[in-house]
Amino acid sequence: MSVLKEINPNVKNLKQLASVVLAREASQINEELREGVRKPYKEVIDVSSGDPHRAGVKPLSFVRQVLAACTYPQLMDSTRLPVDVRQRAQRLLGECEGGSVGSYSADGSQLVSRISEFIKRRDGGIPSKPENIYVSPGSEWSFTSILKLLVNSKASPRTGVLTPVPCQSTAIMSIALLGAAVVPYHLNEEQGWELQVEELHRALESAKGVCNPVALYVINPGNPSGHVQSRKSMQDVIRFVSEKRLFLLADEVYQDCVYGEKSEFLSYKRVLSEMGPPLSDTVELASFHSASQGFLGECGLRCGYVELVNLDPPVMTYGYKMFSMESSVPVFGEIALDLMMNPPQPGDPSYPLYKEEIENIRSTVVQNVKRAVEVVNSLPGFCCQPVQGGGFLFPRLYFPPKAIQKAKEAGMQPDTFYCARLLQQAGVLIGPGCENGQKEGSHHLRFSIMTSEKTMEELLRRLTCFHSQFMKDFS
């Protein structure tokens, strides 16, 4: 008997992401360029993921200095590093077993206490209990772990999770991998990707006889849609999950990245608390955050946390067992998370440079958003909603029938076909919207806005030239 027949069918049924195939091709193109192969461009611009450092955003000096001192403690004997950097590194090393980043993580109680304090500051003084917080190797890991508590693999009908369209592809895969059903609800693109409670009711009704929905997954700020929910929208969602007895999963990893003039990030924890009893005492919530996204952008250091609200004590016990057994958080990630929550403050030696770097990143991203939306909307066939927050642009593209037919002949979705040609002909790597989910018959592209202004301008120049020729070829 073949070993393959014994593999978990949920794993076997996972589809290969088109972006992975495109990334491999991009690596091959880069290798050809290094070998001197002549192409119309000198390098590939990769804005396919939410990795700011890959896209050219410089790491924050304070973070890198503390990491350096923790890695090589002899640096703390030198005056080349600011005194607050040395003090922070000394404190963090003191919390490591053996006083070394090469040791296993300590019990994490001090870090969890600081996360609790961070959440309390963020939410205007609303209490946060350390015993309800778990640190993990990234928000995706936390999300999957909470799903394990919710999904009954032996249930009939199977467990369902209401999931936004569009949505980050890894969340969709995590739900499918555990054998649960994705119950899609569509954000209203024409209304700036607004989450409308009427659509939640429709999605829930569509699940009857198919699965048993137990949770609602929301992403705020939106990834990749770029919308930011209003307080009213969040209140509507909270009332909906209370009425339908659903667990609320809130992905809030882009909470620092809000650009819309009238937009403001509010955590679901805060809105729920301010709604008061009985909702604030009964709605079950998991809120996720990470050091990977946002202006810190430390994707490679892998650390995040989840805060649980209103879970029954027995369930919390199961959660504690699972996180204790499975979670082995990289020490560097814990350090990055600590620095994200407790950056230099006014009066600290590192504060002026830190403030300058953060403001430069923010102003660059705001400018990138403005330019990208402006240029994309000027191109025939494109339509992009305003971006209020998050790390991506997700414009819609109306393909000529000839292009759709050509993509079909190539065995590709139209947006994947477009991305493949854009990579080959213009050296730009972006993601196809089909990976994130989209309404039947619609097509989108996804690319990061967290890059330098110079890179963004070159990207838009190449995209404009390529798109003009593409539309000519397939009109």
> Do 414 and 334 lie in a common domain?
no
How high is the mean pLDDT of the chain?
91
State whether residue 203 is helix, strand or coil.
helix
Residues 6+ apart with CB under 8 A from 28: none
Which of 311, 341, 371 is the last residue in one of the domains? 341
Residue 171 lies in a domain: yes
> Do 299 and 159 lie in a common domain?
yes
> Do 115 and 181 lie in a common domain?
yes
Confidence grade of residue 262 (pLDDT, cut at 50, 70, 90): confident
Output the domain CATH number for residue 173.
Answer: 3.40.640.10
Q: What is the pLDDT of residues 39-60, one digit of tens each?
A: 999 999 999 988 888 888 899 9
> Do 213 and 321 lie in a common domain?
yes
Q: How far is CA 377 from the centre of its chain?
A: 25
Tokens of 234: 């969040």
In angstroms and rounded to an integer, the radius of gyration of the C-alpha atoms of the chain is 23
Q: What is the pLDDT of residues 431-451, one digit of tens each?
A: 999 999 999 999 999 999 999
Q: What is the pLDDT of residues 212-236, one digit of tens each?
A: 999 999 999 999 999 999 999 999 9
The span from the CA of 436 to the CA of 407, in Å, is: 19
| pTM, 2 dp | 0.93
The span from the CA of 436 to the CA of 445, in Å, is: 10
Residue whose token pair is 């892998």: 302
Percent of the chain residues past pLDDT 70, beyond the cut: 95
> Do 325 and 385 lie in a common domain?
no
Q: What is the pLDDT of residues 410-428, one digit of tens each?
A: 999 999 999 999 999 999 9
CA angle 138, 175, 146 (to 5 degrees): 50
> Do 167 and 246 lie in a common domain?
yes
> Do 180 and 280 lie in a common domain?
yes
CA angle 102, 105, 110 (to 5 degrees): 130
> Do 155 and 220 lie in a common domain?
yes
Residue 111 lies in a domain: yes
Provide the terminal-to-terminal Cα distance of the chain, rounded to the nearest Å. 52
Angle 414-426/401-409 helices, nearest 10 degrees? Answer: 90
- Exposed, middle or buried: residue 232 (CB in 10 Å: 0-12, 13-18, 19+)? exposed
Output the domain CATH number for residue 420.
Answer: 3.90.1150.10
For the ranges 2-16, 176-190, 202-216, the lowest mean pLDDT is seen at 2-16
The span from the CA of 15 to the CA of 22, in Å, is: 14
Residue 451 lies in a domain: yes
Whole domain around residue 457: which residue ranges? 8-56+354-474
Tokens of 99: 């006083």
CB 228 within 8 A of CB 264: yes
pLDDT over 60 (residue 2): no
For the ranges 217-231, 294-308, 382-396, the lowest mean pLDDT is seen at 294-308
> Do 147 and 296 lie in a common domain?
yes
Q: How many domains does the chain have?
A: 2
> Do 150 and 120 lie in a common domain?
yes
> Do 202 and 288 lie in a common domain?
yes
Residue 83 lies in a domain: no
> Do 371 and 467 lie in a common domain?
yes
